Amino acid sequence: FSLNLAADCNAVLKALQPIFQEQGMTETVHNWEDHGYLVTYIKKNGSFANLRIHPHGLVLVDLQSYNDDMKGREEVDQLLNKVEERMKELIHVNIKRVKRLPAILRGGVIDRYWPTADGRLVEYDIDEVVYDEDSPFQNIKILHSKQFGNILILSGDVNLAESDLAYTQAIMGSGKEDYTGKEVLILGGGDGGILYEIVKLKPKMVTMQTSNIDQMVIDGCKKHMRKTCGDVLDNLKGDCYQVLIEDCIPVLKRYAKEGRMFDYVINDLTAVPISTSPEEDSTWEFLRLILDLSMKVLKQDGKYFTQ
Amino acid sequence: FSLNLAADCNAVLKALQPIFQEQGMTETVHNWEDHGYLVTYIKKNGSFANLRIHPHGLVLVDLQSYNDDMKGREEVDQLLNKVEERMKELIHVNIKRVKRLPAILRGGVIDRYWPTADGRLVEYDIDEVVYDEDSPFQNIKILHSKQFGNILILSGDVNLAESDLAYTQAIMGSGKEDYTGKEVLILGGGDGGILYEIVKLKPKMVTMQTSNIDQMVIDGCKKHMRKTCGDVLDNLKGDCYQVLIEDCIPVLKRYAKEGRMFDYVINDLTAVPISTSPEEDSTWEFLRLILDLSMKVLKQDGKYFTQ
């Protein structure tokens, strides 16, 4: 509860106390001089509630319980309804906002919380752990979501879902490029999405470089992300494509030396590279090196796509 | 912390106690007979921590503090690092999962948490409240997100963002329909997205029915969702479209009686209708009535699209 005015902490406490006491909860009150109240209510079954009353007008109620049964959820709803009712009686029009957040489930078999790269909390409708392996470089998970299909998660970072065709289309130039008869180099792209989509467009030859860091990513994707990669990862060679399991720097250096040129270079390497050699000490230097080498293998009217 | 084995509750408590005590926190221990420990640590500045040790092998640490300054966040990270370190020393390989969730921000000016229709917690990168009005029927919010542009939220339900062109395209038949010279009836669609996209395709006439319930939705959208609706909501009539502010049932009944026929009926009414007349007592009956009436105004080779 956000209030429009300073809270009469004592009045709020007095108003809400009976609701928790009716539940047979044991009360422990802590009263700061300047910071209001923390009241802890403990139930015999192991559940508890925290009531935090801030004097400047913020009242927070947290409930924590072990079981996730529907009966428990109904009881929680009823309790919170009573708290809301009592608060509205007490504070009337001066409640600025009432917000009830969904329960956070911890300790379950399936972890549904995968924060975004910018640190926001997102709960997915995960219903199955499809693949969960540790490589020497990273943890590789593929989780099934009803909404997004299988989702590839590398060391906790959501990478790509089977529903993310839009990502692949965007990094290929949003449908505006003609790949027919073209020479294409893909850097990274271990999920096989870009390779699969370009091969459909009758290119002359697509070369996909993917580091051995990604071997287990490929293994997982070719089994469980087939909406993304189709069958292109089943073999490392096809009519118009090849997959090189090799780091991108030596591949680019070799092609530059040989004078091998491409119509398109698509850089789908992870945003922050996993460094294997300590001499590549700075991320920016590594990114600059890749960009410089890419320009060397790009035809004069060639195009370079990246995130 | 999820453990692979039952927790020695007492050993966990003994191991973690010093970390909180070093912070100058006051400890209150509650020990259930069969449900482990709840330990509350209270700091002088109004912060507190809950340590919940479940005997079957789940250890939960919750921290709550008032200020959201970076210094506070660093302190929290350091504290949690110490807890993690100590737990790993104590339990070694038998920790199944360690998960740290981003902080939940409550009581701020901007509410970033908008749960999905299926009750999942999602935090958006909202940085501005663009529009926030109560109509007699619902609360209408338009919030700006860096990721999605302006987002329309009706009574807490995320409706449509400016980035959601894909929704509009899908309900129009995913680009596979030719609207040139066609007669189209849109039911609902108060955000103007479908109208705007179809008008671009040179139809003969598009009629959009939108109830007066949505008048304030239209007002908000025509000002703040212009990536979605362009200028089609600025006037209720254009060269090839008209907007009727009227309930959908009387509109459909009148057209059916007049023998007015359409090539396309696109039903974009909210999934669960806001009932204004009590005689429409069942949602399913209401939906069936709309479908029946829609069939009556649809040409024999016409198409009906809906969510």
Testing the interface with A: which of B29, B35, B124 to mutate, by most A Cβ within 10 A? B35
Least CA distance to A104: which residue of chain B? B121
DSSP string, B239-295: SSEEEEES-HHHHHHHHHHHT--EEEEEEE--SS----STT---HHHHHHHHHHHHH
Q: Is B191 a catalytic residue?
A: no
Q: What is the pTM of this model?
A: 0.88
Report the residue from A58, A64, A125 with minimal CB separation from B118.
Answer: A125
What value of ipTM does the predicted structure carry?
0.87
List pLDDT tens digits, range B59-95: 999 999 987 666 778 889 999 999 999 999 999 889 9
Q: Would you say residue B186 has pLDDT above 90?
A: yes
Interface size A-B, in CB pairs within 8 Å, comes to: 107
* Distance in angstroms (rounded) separating the CA atoms of residues B297 and B289: 13
Least confident piece of the model among A259-263, B7-11, B257-261: B7-11
pLDDT in tens, chain A (307 residues): 999 989 899 999 999 999 999 999 999 999 999 999 999 999 999 999 999 999 999 999 999 998 766 677 888 999 999 999 999 999 988 999 999 999 999 998 899 999 998 999 999 999 999 999 999 889 999 999 999 999 999 999 999 999 999 899 999 998 889 999 999 999 998 999 999 999 999 999 999 999 887 789 999 999 999 999 999 999 999 999 999 999 999 999 999 999 999 999 999 987 665 555 555 567 788 888 999 999 999 999 999 999 8
User: Catalytic pick from B118, B263, B268, B301?
Assistant: B268
Q: Which residues of A touch B (CB under 8 A)?
A: 2, 28, 30, 32, 34-36, 38, 40, 42, 44-46, 48, 50, 52, 54, 58, 60, 62, 64, 66, 97, 99, 101-102, 104, 106-107, 111-113, 115, 118-125, 166
Least CA distance to B50: which residue of chain A? A50
Just list the catalytic residues of A. Answer: 268
* Distance in angstroms (rounded) separating the CA atoms of residues A33 and A28: 17
Q: Would you say residue B291 has pLDDT above 70?
A: yes
pLDDT-based confidence at B270, cuts 50/70/90?
confident
Torsion of CA B212, B217, B222, B228, to 10 degrees: -120
Q: Name the minimum distance, in Å, from the CA of B58 to any CA of chain A.
A: 7
* Distance in angstroms (rounded) separating the CA atoms of residues B84 and B64: 18
What's the pLDDT score for residue B68? Answer: 63
List pLDDT tens digits, range B143-154: 999 999 999 999
Q: Do A121 and B125 touch (CB under 8 A)?
A: no
What's the pLDDT score for residue A73? Answer: 83
Least CA distance to A125: which residue of chain B? B120
List pLDDT tens digits, range A161-185: 999 998 999 999 988 899 999 999 9
Closest CA to A114 of A147, A146, A154: A154
- CB atoms near residue B28 (< 10 Å): 14
Q: Which residue has the higher pLDDT, A278 or B293?
A: B293
Q: Which domains, ranges and CATH numbers included, belong to chain B?
A: 2-97 (3.30.160.110), 165-306 (3.40.50.150)
Q: Do A107 and B35 touch (CB under 8 A)?
A: no
What's the pLDDT score for residue A281? Answer: 62
Beta strands in A80-148 (DSSP E): 95-97, 126-134, 139-145
